Amino acid sequence: MNAVARRLARLFAPSVRRGRNDAVAEPGIVVFACNICGTLCRAPMHALEREGSHCPACDCTMRYRAVVHHLSMALFGRSLCIDAFPASGRTMTGIGMSDARRYAKRLAARLDYTNTYYHKAPRLDVLEPPREYLARFRFIVSSDVLEHVAPPIDRAFSNLHAMLVAGGTLVLTVPFAIDGDTIEHYPDLHDYRIEQRAGGPVLVNRTIDGRVQEFDGPVFHGGPGSTLEMRLFSEGALLRHLHGAGFRDVRIHREPALACGIDWAHPWSVPITAIA
């Protein structure tokens, strides 16, 4: 095992598994430990994209690894593979919002963590959270969810803050633009349905005051019939939402974490952490 791989193995021990990917690093190649499954990986630097799959064992994306990296930093003060989370993590209560199964199951084995869903149990509607969720959680993971929440989105940020204990951490990812303001696709959304027509899907909305609106070409993440995109955030608007909800120490994380295979080629849509 080369020096880079040995250093990674020490950093993430005892969870890193040696495999065929422990080859000598070449120029332009990053060797890293997958902080989700522990596999030692290698990938071209230019291939480290937000939604790219880089781990041959668990097929995780850089976004998933970044969520785990920032959660580990918030809870333990260092970046660890999930399997190396200390036993103290089992007392740290938190939730995910429709987190990916690739890491949710592993988090549940190391933390007092529950993955929640909008459409099934355990259910969480962030616009109307259960009273028992208020001031309860040490951490919340919301990865690429808030762009799908119906307006008014300010309420979602306020409720996320309300569900965290003082000092609790929100680990947040959403697609966002650097400049301008948030683009709300359906600002008057109230009672809507998707109709399939000859030209494609159409969103038909009846506003709260009874007006009927139609929008061509609604965007679904995961394909039609899946999750409707409600908005494209801007960086400035995200900061306003977070600060307005009462969060402090809001950080936008553009820095690399090469030991986990994280390197942001672009400044937009990077992870954010915020403290309640």
pLDDT at 113: 98
Q: What is the 3-state secondary structure (H, E, C) of 102-170?
A: HHHHHHHHHCEEEEEECCCCCECCCCCCCHHHCCCEEEEEEECCHHHCCCCHHHHHHHHHHHEEEEEEE
Strands 220-221 and 29-33, by their bridges, are unpaired
160 and 90 co-located in one domain: yes
153 and 190 co-located in one domain: no
175 and 200 co-located in one domain: no
**Phi and psi, residue 225, nearest 5°:** 85, 0
Strands 40-44 and 29-33, by their bridges, are antiparallel
pLDDT per residue as tens digits for the range 180-227: 999 999 999 999 999 999 989 999 999 999 999 999 999 998 755 568
Tell me the residue ranges of DSSP E strands in 137-271.
137-143, 164-173, 176-177, 183-184, 191-197, 200-206, 212-216, 220-221, 227-228, 231-234, 248-252
Helix/strand/coil for 30? strand
Question: To 10 degrees, the CA torsion angle through 163, 82, 116, 250?
Answer: 40
| CA-wise closest residue to 38 among 62, 11, 63 | 11
Whether the predicted pLDDT of 16 surpasses 50: no
202 and 132 co-located in one domain: no
Q: Give the separation between CA 46 and CA 30, rounded to whole angstroms.
A: 10
Strands 212-216 and 220-221, by their bridges, are unpaired
129 and 27 co-located in one domain: yes
99 and 164 co-located in one domain: yes
150 and 215 co-located in one domain: no
Residue 200 is part of which domain span? 186-227
Question: Is the link from the previous residue into 14 a cis peptide, with omega within 30 of 0?
Answer: yes
pLDDT per residue as tens digits for the range 90-114: 999 999 999 999 999 999 999 999 9
pLDDT per residue as tens digits for the range 252-269: 999 999 999 999 999 999
159 and 108 co-located in one domain: yes
Number of domains in the chain: 2
pLDDT per residue as tens digits for the range 130-144: 999 999 999 999 999
43 and 77 co-located in one domain: yes
99 and 216 co-located in one domain: no
pLDDT at 14: 38
Where does the pLDDT of residue 8 fall: very low under 50, low under 70, confident under 90, or very high at 90 and above?
very low
**Phi and psi, residue 240, nearest 5°:** -65, -45
Centre a 10 Å sphere on the Cβ of residue 52 and count the other Cβ atoms it contains.
13
pLDDT at 225: 54
Q: Give the separation between CA 206 and CA 119, rounded to whole angstroms.
A: 22
Question: Do residues 152 and 107 lie in contact, with contact meaning Cβ atoms separated by under 8 Å?
Answer: no
Counting other chains too, the contacts that 5-8 makes at CB distance below 8 Å and 24 or more residues apart are 5/31, 5/40, 8/32, 8/33, 8/40, 8/259
Q: Give the separation between CA 151 and CA 16, rounded to whole angstroms.
A: 43
pLDDT at 7: 45
The CATH code of the domain that includes 21 is: 3.40.50
Q: 272: which DSSP letter?
A: E
Give the gyration radius of the chain's Cα atoms: 20
217 and 245 co-located in one domain: no
pLDDT per residue as tens digits for the range 230-254: 999 999 999 999 999 999 999 999 9
Whether the predicted pLDDT of 22 surpasses 50: no
State percent of the chain over pLDDT 90. Answer: 82
pLDDT at 26: 72
pLDDT per residue as tens digits for the range 49-95: 999 988 999 999 999 999 999 999 999 999 999 999 999 999 999 99
199 and 248 co-located in one domain: no
Helix/strand/coil for 67? helix
Question: Do residues 227 and 221 lie in contact, with contact meaning Cβ atoms separated by under 8 Å?
Answer: yes
